[in-house]
Amino acid sequence: MAPAAELIDATKKYGEIEALGGVTIRIELGEVVAMLGPNGAGKTTSISILLGLRKPTSGKALLFGLEPTNLLARSKVGVMLQESGVPAMLKVREIVDLFRSYYPRPMTRDRAIAMAGLEEKANALVRELSGGQRQRLYFALAVCGDPDVLFLDEPTVGMDVEGRRAFIERIAEFAHMGRTVVLTTHYLEEADQLAKRVIVIDRGVVIADAPPGEIKSRVAGKRVRFISPAITEQELGGLSVTAAAITDGRVQLLTNQPEAVLRELFRRGVEMSELEVAGADLEDAFIAMTSH
């Protein structure tokens, strides 16, 4: 059976700028995949090509083994885009009904609206919605067709912490129905909470494709943080660390031997305050992988 979505050696150039440099991704039905990467890494371009909104410069994209522009393929796909608008003068329930009519076996209107937590706004005009409510409306429009695959491009961008947490739960609820979810994000905890598989994209290429746990274990086990206003790069030279970063006197090191590293720093006479040693999380893994 054809995979739900597939990119085969896809490249994309915008003029002289190479946004994607040969990306191959295969997403099976039922997978929950997070595409992770800094801004401009090529996440949105990858999603756009998968959805047939952009043509790859070379290579290929397939949805259920079909061209992404094929309406049969699109009938199985729900989409939430980063940059999109909906008619301001329609009511929430009207536009949900409209989008439901595009799909062969939609869920009920009430269910779609409830999944997005918009019950109280069902009769409101779109233009009366707040930014966060609008984002939830896009989610309702993406799930209302009861799609096999849900694509979410930066779904929680611009939300506050509480809003993001609630939103992640809604996505998880949809994924638990056995559906395929592909989301891009630069919030690392989202990928960690939701996805069974994380694809890290940086500068247009895939630099990691593994379960979140494995990605974490690839980097050093411990994170060392401290503040040292006068520290220089030279003072960190020659330490057994897998990554080191200094920003405004805040130092972050990733290492398998935190004791040895600290002993050496004290021997070098580095002044430090607010010392902290903790297990590395996905965020640290991410920084280690994408630090240039």
54 counts as binding other proteins under rule CB under 8 A: yes
53 binds other proteins (CB under 8 A): yes
- Does position 84 interact with other proteins (CB under 8 A)? The reply is yes
Helix (H, G, I), strand (E, B) or coil at 264: helix
Near other proteins by CB under 8 A, which window of 81-89, 174-182, 196-204, 260-268?
A: 81-89
Cβ contact 173:120 at 8 Å:
no
Query: Does 74 interact with other proteins (rule: CB under 8 A)?
Result: yes
Examine residue 230 and tell whether it contacts other proteins (CB under 8 A): no
Interacting residue with other proteins among 4, 62, 79, 198 (CB under 8 A): 79
Which residue, 94 or 283, has its beta carbon nearer to other proteins?
94
Given the rule CB under 8 A, which of 88-96, 203-211, 224-232, 236-244 is the region that contacts other proteins?
88-96
Contacts of 136 (CB under 8 A, 6+ apart): 116, 117, 118, 167, 170
- Who's near 15: CB < 8 A, 6+ residues apart? none
Q: How far is the CB of 16 from other proteins (least distance, A)?
A: 15
Show Cβ contacts of residue 251 under 8 Å, excluding neighbours closer than 6 positions. 224, 225, 226, 227, 228, 231, 236, 244, 245, 272
Interaction between residue 124 and other proteins (CB under 8 A)? no
Among 104, 178, 237, 238, binds other proteins (CB under 8 A): 104
Shortest Å, Cβ 125 to other proteins:
8
Give CA–CA dist 191/35, Å, rounded. 8
Alpha carbons 39 and 31: distance in angstroms, whole number: 24
149 vs 288, which CB is nearer to other proteins? 149
**Kind and range of the H or E element at 22?**
strand 17-27
Compute how many residues bind other proteins; rule: CB under 8 A.
35
Nearest to 137 by CA among 105, 114, 158: 114
What DSSP character marks residue 106? P
Question: In terms of CB distance, is 105 or 263 closer to other proteins?
Answer: 105
Q: Among 95, 152, 251, 265, which residue sits at the site for other proteins (rule: CB under 8 A)?
A: 95
Structure tokens at 94: 């009207």
Q: Under the rule (CB under 8 A), what is the footprint of other proteins?
A: 51-55, 71-72, 74-75, 77, 79, 81, 83-90, 94-95, 97-99, 101-106, 125, 138, 141, 145
